[in-house]
A = this chain, B = another copy of it.
Amino acid sequence: MKNLIVGQSGGPTSVINASLAGVYEEAKRLGYNHVYGMINGIEGLLEENIVDLDKYLADKKNLELLKRTPSSYLQTCRFKLGTYVDHPDIYEKIFDILDKYDIDSFIYIGGNDSMDTVENLSDYAIINKRRQNFIGVPKTIDNDLPITDHCPGFGSAAKYIATSIREIVRDSVCYGVKHSTVAIVEVMGRHAGWLTASAALAKSDDCEGVDAIFLPEVPLDLDKFVDKVRILAKKKPAIVIVVSEGIKTTSGEFVCEMGKDDVGVDAFGHKQLNGCADVLANLIKEKTGLKTRPIILSSLQRAAAHVASLTDLREAEKVGKHGAKLAFNGETGKMVIMKRVNNNPYKIKYSSFNNIHDIANLEKKVPLEWIDQENNYVKDELIDYIRPLIMGEVKQYYKNGVPEHLIRKD
């Protein structure tokens, strides 16, 4: 009888717990005796903050609720493990704790940094002839992990963004020609524009869509940006523009940090915490006199499980199950990846990749050839890539008017 431990790391997503549910279900099915959870990832493991998941998840209803609960059920951390050359003590401690609980397999659900941790631990185990094996299960709303076609978590965030933007567009157009407004919507994704590009999926027969999309892959020319708004304002009264939180100007400065050094202190003498939507809304107001409204979608992008994508949720579950299979088969130092076998009908194949450092240290950005010539919208290829990932709705359990969740009561 073998034992397994699973943890969650990095920023949360709407479906990261579906991966946890997948790991648990499959590990139990394969015959693992104890399936443990580490609370707060590696950070909690080092403090032996470990729970037996049977206590929480043996109940089928709980497992279904878990899949519908956003953010990390086991909580998360942003712990940088470092190399075993620098911190042999920490590595020894981790393995001692794993031995103490008689743990054979270790699964980590996370993004770039978490995959680095998986590879480091796996390397250490091989070199030091420790029995444990280590598997990575991908998650990130940013969709910036390379090698895998896409990442669980991204589809639900994209569905939330497309849905919300359709509603923002409806809200925006209702005043007609007499009251022009420019809404600037800020979307997450500091370096990769996948989420910002998802705004393009709002457009359809029954929605005008947005007027411009600016990804972080291309520097923003502020003069051209203002000109674009001026031209739009001559043609239509309600303008909706979507920008990435991480967009930089052509001179290399983050838009969100503009003017933070010498101006922009508030009543308490403290620098403003504006997002780039605020900065750009101010710019437009100043240069054109148009009424502006900054809208920052904020943390709901990674937590709005009430509008999760069914495709995304099922895939999150399946990468978790595939991870448990790899672990059971004794594989180590591998990350589960997805390959798109076909786009229409959409079909995914699950496999694994074993040069995890290649994944950990690379960010997959939106290819420049998927951005239009004017650098202010995306091409159909990009929409076709994202569309299948937002398809399908998750049946939620509602109680007292709000979606029911599963939380740990230790």
**13 residue pairs A–B, Cβ–Cβ below 8 Å:** A44-B176, A65-B206, A77-B178, A159-B401, A167-B303, A170-B407, A206-B399, A208-B407, A263-B266, A266-B274, A268-B282, A296-B298, A392-B401
A179 on the B face (CB < 8 A): yes
How would residues 201 to 214 of chain A score, 1 for a CB under 8 Å from any chain B CB and 0 otherwise? 11010111000000
Tell me the nearest residue of chain B to A279, going by C-beta.
Answer: B266
Number of interface residues, chain A, beta carbon within 8 A: 90
A107 on the B face (CB < 8 A): no
A406 on the B face (CB < 8 A): yes
Contact residues, A251-290 vs B (CB, 8 A): 258-259, 263-274, 278-279, 281-283, 285-287
Contact residues, A361-408 vs B (CB, 8 A): 387, 390-393, 396, 398-407
A34 on the B face (CB < 8 A): no
A112 on the B face (CB < 8 A): no
Neighbour of A201 across the interface among B71, B287, B401, CB < 8 A: B401
Point out the residues of chain B lying under 8 angstroms from A268, CB to CB.
259, 282-283, 286-287
A325 on the B face (CB < 8 A): no
Complex: how many Å from CA A142 to CA B269? 33
Known: A78-B179, A174-B12. A264 touches B270 (CB 8 A): no
Neighbour of A77 across the interface among B175, B183, B398, CB < 8 A: B175
Neighbour of A207 across the interface among B166, B167, B405, CB < 8 A: B405
Point out the residues of chain B lying under 8 angstroms from A332, CB to CB.
none
Do residues B401 and A170 form an inter-chain contact, with CB atoms below 8 A? no
CB distance from A212 to the nearest CB of B (A): 18
A307 on the B face (CB < 8 A): yes
A164 on the B face (CB < 8 A): yes
Do residues A174 and B286 form an inter-chain contact, with CB atoms below 8 A? no
Point out the residues of chain B lying under 8 angstroms from A309, CB to CB.
401
Do residues B296 and A296 form an inter-chain contact, with CB atoms below 8 A? yes
Complex: how many Å from CA A175 to CA B272? 25
Further pairs besides A172-B299, A202-B402, A392-B401: 20, Cβ < 8 Å:
A12-B170, A39-B176, A69-B170, A70-B171, A71-B167, A76-B175, A164-B300, A167-B303, A170-B405, A171-B302, A171-B303, A201-B402, A206-B406, A206-B407, A208-B407, A263-B269, A266-B272, A266-B278, A268-B283, A307-B307
Total copies of this chain within the assembly: 2
A173 on the B face (CB < 8 A): yes
CB distance from A173 to the nearest CB of B (A): 7
CB distance from A383 to the nearest CB of B (A): 10
CB distance from A133 to the nearest CB of B (A): 27
Do residues B402 and A40 form an inter-chain contact, with CB atoms below 8 A? no
Complex: how many Å from CA A12 to CA B170? 9
Known: A265-B263, A390-B401. A171 touches B258 (CB 8 A): no
Do residues A294 and B272 form an inter-chain contact, with CB atoms below 8 A? no
Pairs of residues from A and B, 8 with the lowest C-beta to C-beta distance, nearest first: A259-B267, A390-B401, A71-B170, A167-B303, A171-B303, A258-B267, A270-B286, A40-B176
Known: A173-B71, A204-B400. A278 touches B270 (CB 8 A): no
A168 on the B face (CB < 8 A): yes
Neighbour of A166 across the interface among B43, B72, B266, B405, CB < 8 A: B405
Known: A272-B274, A402-B162, A402-B204. A299 touches B266 (CB 8 A): no
Residue with the highest number of chain B CB atoms closer than 10 Å, among A173, A206, A391, A401: A401
Complex: how many Å from CA A166 to CA B258? 33
Contact residues, A65-83 vs B (CB, 8 A): 65, 69-72, 75-78
Contact residues, A142-193 vs B (CB, 8 A): 159, 162-164, 166-168, 170-176, 178-179, 183
Complex: how many Å from CA A305 to CA B169? 13
A3 on the B face (CB < 8 A): no
How would residues 340 to 380 of chain A score, 1 for a CB under 8 Å from any chain B CB and 0 otherwise? 00000000000000000000000000000000000000000
